[in-house]
Amino acid sequence: MKCAAVIPCFNEKKTIATLVSTVLEQLPLVIVVDDGSTDGTARNAESAGAIVLRHEHNRGKGAALQTGLAHVLSLDYEWAVTLDGDGQHDPAAWPAFRQCAEQTGASLIIGNRMHQAQEMPWLRRHVNRWMSRKLSERAGRTRVCELPDTQSGFRLVHLPSWAALPLNAQRFEVESEMLMAFLDAGHAVEFVPIRVIASERKSRIRPVTDTLRWLKWWRKIDSAALPVFQTSRPPCETLSGEISGPA
């Protein structure tokens, strides 16, 4: 599996160097998209061995992912792992993602934190569950748990499939948009359990602004026709066993 990592960042100088070094133990290439940082994130990422792509101004997580994934695809990579730059994703979980893709043929593998939901901040946990329930219903699933963590940014993405999708989200609604676009196109999507690592910094999600933006996006897709997506294979959480990474 020819795979690189894409890490969208905004002012993550405290965590990015360690994260890049750790990811490079698992994968041959790390692309950091510095989304208008003002704190030396790009310098620290480069010193740790990453290739840094820079947005002059902050354009949002969705835009940063678009830049990073497109660049990896242009380098003839077939897959990309996406991780957040604040250190909340454990790169040691990478083998579980790879195993899931190999066993199921899925085009999008998403890390599921809901096995340790009690470790997530209360508001984020409940908003995540509400959004996951709405998206599960929209996708035509009969069991809500089949889309357990729709907001996780730790993902393995099949780049040729991704490149053919109509994706426009520029900010935090990108996770929902990507998931629904893969399902809409008939691609298999699976989840693997990952452990929850608390970020040392406060979340940059703005509860009111970003929720309103998500609802605006939701109203748009909720009025569009979407085929029912079904899978006959067991979920990767059954296949891959325990939560990835050290306890």
Q: What is the structure's pLDDT at 66?
A: 96
Residue 85 has pLDDT above 90, yes or no: yes
Task: Please enumerate in sequence order all residues whose Cβ is within 8 A of that of 74, keeping only pairs 6 or more positions apart, or say none.
Answer: none
Average pLDDT, the chain: 82
Mapped onto helix, strand or coil, the DSSP state of residue 236 is helix
Q: How far apart are CA 92 and CA 244, in angstroms?
A: 7
For residue 69, how many C-alpha atoms fall within 13 Å in the half-sphere facing its CB?
A: 25
Residue 76 has pLDDT above 60, yes or no: yes
Q: What is the structure's pLDDT at 231?
A: 42
Q: What is the structure's pLDDT at 230?
A: 43
Contacts of 210-219 with C-beta under 8 Å, sequence gap 24+, read 210/171, 210/172, 210/173, 211/127, 213/171, 213/172, 213/173, 214/131, 214/172, 214/173, 214/176, 217/169, 217/173, 217/176, 217/177, 218/134, 218/176
Query: pLDDT digit string (tens) for 15-31?
Result: 999 999 999 999 999 99
Q: Report the CATH fold assignment for 3-240.
A: Spore Coat Polysaccharide Biosynthesis Protein SpsA; Chain A (3.90.550)
Q: Which residues pair with 169 in a beta bridge?
A: none
Strands of the sheet with 189-193, listed across from one edge: 51-55, 30-35, 3-9, 79-82, 155-158, 108-112, 189-193
Query: pLDDT digit string (tens) for 114-165?
Result: 665 555 655 566 666 766 676 777 676 434 346 888 889 999 999 999 999 9
Q: How far apart are CA 62 and CA 167, in angstroms?
A: 9
Mean pLDDT confidence for 172-198: 89
Q: What is the structure's pLDDT at 205?
A: 61
Paired tokens of 229: 């997506």
Q: How far apart are CA 196 and CA 214, in angstroms?
A: 23
Query: pLDDT digit string (tens) for 224-247?
Result: 554 444 443 445 554 433 333 433
